[in-house]
């Protein structure tokens, strides 16, 4: 091969490689965009229709069916009006005291959680709002990775932009885990107290709200000192909690 042909061949290969890399990047960007559109369309649909399941429900059902192929989840949808205001206040008091004020992220809570994690040198607190928890429950997993937190933030922005605070709280109360195979306020009220969600008392509501961070453990340890202590704290905070 002559010296004149070698540079031309090298330039041809370099140009082909550049075009291939550009096409690959554009393809990956298009896939990422379509992935976000998939989330967006679900949230738009849920403005007027109720989710029948969630990522957390599907993951938990898969685990239960590894032990028992016939296992199922306890879940029944109840409308916002059918959920006791005591439970709404208790959950807001426990999980997101500034729910009506923020736009999906409570930066004061995040800062407080960050300081607590640094002090204890472990992931002890997350500072997540109800909207962030809803994003995670509906679409993601409970793994604490940078990618999952980034995706959670994007979905949270969509949720806050497209859904009212009342709708966010309604869906949240209907999809979160409340015990071993128990999801949503309707199933939780029946499972623990044998009553509809509309009939929950103040103390029952506070107790259920206290379970949210570790529902399966507290389902099996219903008189755990930490659970009862947090219930008392929530009871004291409930009067100040405002619901949409």
Residue 70: pLDDT over 60 = yes
pLDDT at 1 (0 to 100): 45
- Cα gap 173→171, rounded to integer Å: 6
Which pTM value belongs to this model? 0.87
Q: What is the pLDDT of residues 80-132, one digit of tens each?
A: 999 999 999 999 999 999 999 998 888 776 676 566 656 666 555 567 899 99
Which of 4-13, 135-144, 206-215 ranks highest by mean pLDDT? Answer: 206-215
Residue 8: pLDDT over 90 = no
- Cα gap 44→41, rounded to integer Å: 5
- Percentage with pLDDT > 70 across the chain: 86
Q: What is the mean pLDDT of the chain?
A: 89
Other beta carbons less than 10 A from residue 242's beta carbon: 13
pLDDT at 198 (0 to 100): 97
Q: How confident is the model at residue 2 (pLDDT cuts 50, 70, 90)?
A: very low
- Cα gap 53→75, rounded to integer Å: 9
Q: What is the pLDDT of residues 38-69, one digit of tens each?
A: 999 999 999 999 999 999 999 999 999 999 99
Q: What is the pLDDT of residues 161-194, one digit of tens each?
A: 999 999 999 999 999 999 999 999 999 999 999 9
Residue 7: pLDDT over 90 = no
- Cα gap 151→45, rounded to integer Å: 19
* pLDDT greater at residue 25 or residue 81: 81
β strands within the chain, DSSP E: 74-75, 177-179, 182-183
CA angle, corner 158, sides to 157 and 162, nearest 5? 120
- Cα gap 183→196, rounded to integer Å: 14
Residue 195: pLDDT over 90 = yes
Name, in order, each residue with C-beta under 8 angstroms of 96's C-beta and a sequence gap of 6 or more: 106, 109, 129, 130
């Amino acid at each position: 091969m002559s010296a004149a042909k070698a540079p031309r061949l090298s330039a041809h290969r370099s140009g082909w490689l550049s075009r291939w890399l550009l096409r690959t990047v554009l393809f990956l960007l298009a896939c990422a965009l379509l992935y976000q559109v998939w989330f967006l369309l679900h949230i738009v649909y849920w403005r007027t229709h109720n989710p029948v399941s969630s990522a957390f429900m599907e993951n938990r059902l898969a685990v239960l069916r590894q032990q028992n192929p016939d296992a199922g989840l306890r879940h029944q949808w109840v409308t916002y009006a059918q959920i006791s205001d005591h439970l709404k206040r208790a959950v807001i008091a426990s999980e997101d005291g500034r729910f009506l004020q923020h736009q999906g992220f409570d930066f004061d809570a995040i800062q407080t959680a960050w300081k607590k994690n640094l002090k204890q040198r472990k992931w002890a607190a997350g500072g997540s709002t109800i909207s962030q928890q809803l994003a995670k429950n509906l679409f993601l997993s409970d793994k604490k990775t940078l990618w999952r937190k980034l995706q959670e933030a994007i979905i949270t922005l969509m949720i806050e932009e497209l859904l009212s605070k009342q709708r966010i709280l309604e869906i949240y109360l209907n999809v979160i885990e409340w015990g071993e195979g128990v999801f949503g306020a309707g199933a939780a009220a029946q499972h623990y107290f044998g009553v509809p969600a509309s009939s929950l008392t103040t103390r029952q509501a506070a107790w259920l709200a206290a379970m949210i961070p570790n529902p399966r453990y507290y389902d099996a340890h219903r008189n755990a000192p930490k659970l009862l202590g947090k219930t008392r704290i929530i009871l004291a905070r409930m009067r100040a909690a405002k619901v949409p």
